[in-house]
Amino acid sequence: DAGSVQILLVEPFPPEVTAALSAKFNVTVLSDSAASIDEIEVVACSSLGTVDAALMDRLPRLKVVVNLGVGVDKIDIEHAQQCGIGVSNTPGVLDACVADTAVGLLIDTVREFSAADRYVRAGRWPDGPFPTTRNVSGMHIGIVGLGRIGRAIATRLSAFGCPITYHSRRPVPDVAYPYVGSLNELALRSDALIVAVSGGPENTGMIDREVLHALGANGYLINIARGRLVDEQALVELLRNGGLAGAGLDVYVDEPNVPEELRSLANTVLLPHLGSATKETRAAMADLFLDNLQKFVADGTLVTPVVAPRGGATMQPE
């Protein structure tokens, strides 16, 4: 019975989903120091909340971690696997929205719409026209990570007449876009590099100084994936000294703290991790999150597992 299932909520977590969760389940918030955690069977988190091995080890009855978001990079997946703890995420339902964000960020960064808006608001238009920029249509686009979101970005930019190439661990079957085995080579060939790869530890720092250098003085970097994928310090240096034309970022190494160096540059467009933040998409994510939780309570399995929970219908009292 759902009411008897003990859920631990790891913040930050959207308040509207907390309300839906609390209506059906017995919810304890991790930050509540009086919280009794011995009976916890389920951890609920968003992609922004950390669920490390230490937390899992503090919960003797933990069986599943249900994540609101597609990225599970803040969950220790390896440890969950070892302990037989299931993990679910919310894939698919946010692809269109995040791809829209990537395209919007690309256009804003290249055409400098946000800077032009500041120009008009500051009353500078009478001083002269805003400087010309460059075309987005026809740009050579390199996509890093051709998963569901990467493909949704590729579809949209194909309609802009942009030749698309991509890099991933291995070629993706059934796609027509040319695969480039070396990330440096992809950066060399691209006018804009769009990062859409998963943010797990194996990919940390993959967009390094060399890759950014290969992208070059006329190149743009767009990141809607995770901040840790990029060497942020090298990015700042190249943006500052003309080694890169511009960067559009939705994600950062230490969110919500955005380095002052990035904020003071004129050739950056900076968004506060809003890739999936529309009402429709967040509602669809919440539905899939709750479906995973309900299925687990019902039969011990998950709708969209990242790690399958060990041992079937485990919610019955032992």
From 39, 237, 255, 261, active-site residue = 255
Min CB(29)–ligand 8YV separation in Å:
16
From 148, 151, 167, 226, active-site residue = 226
Residues that bind ligand 8YV (CB under 6 A): 14, 46-48, 68-71, 94, 273, 275-276
CA contacts within 13 A on the Cβ side of 178:
13
Q: Say if CB 134 and CB 107 are below 8 A apart.
A: no
Classified as helix, coil or strand, 174 is coil
192 vs 224, which CB is nearer to ligand 8YV? 224
Query: Angle CA(207)–CA(210)–CA(211) in degrees, nearest 5?
Result: 45
Query: Angle CA(173)–CA(307)–CA(70) in degrees, nearest 5?
Result: 65
Residue 41 annotated to the active site: no
Min CB(34)–ligand 8YV separation in Å:
26
Say how far apart CA 244 and CA 251 lie, in whole Å.
18
Q: Say if CB 225 and CB 95 are below 8 A apart.
A: no
Give the single-character DSSP code of 207.
Answer: B
User: Between the CA atoms of 283, 287, 290 and 292, what dihedral angle is there, to the nearest 10 degrees?
Assistant: -130
Q: Say if CB 235 and CB 212 are below 8 A apart.
A: yes
6 vs 46, which CB is nearer to ligand 8YV? 46
214 vs 225, which CB is nearer to ligand 8YV? 225
From 148, 151, 167, 273, active-site residue = 273
Classified as helix, coil or strand, 91 is coil
Residue 240 annotated to the active site: no
Count of other CB atoms within 10 angstroms of residue 12? 12
Give the single-character DSSP code of 213.
Answer: H
59 vs 98, which CB is nearer to ligand 8YV? 98
Among all residues, whose Cβ is closest to ligand 8YV? Answer: 69
Q: Say if CB 40 and CB 18 are below 8 A apart.
A: no
Residue 263 annotated to the active site: no
Min CB(317)–ligand 8YV separation in Å:
32
Min CB(93)–ligand 8YV separation in Å:
10
66 vs 162, which CB is nearer to ligand 8YV? 66
The strand pairing partners of 257, in sequence order, are 254
Min CB(87)–ligand 8YV separation in Å:
13
Active-site residues, by number, are 226, 255, 273
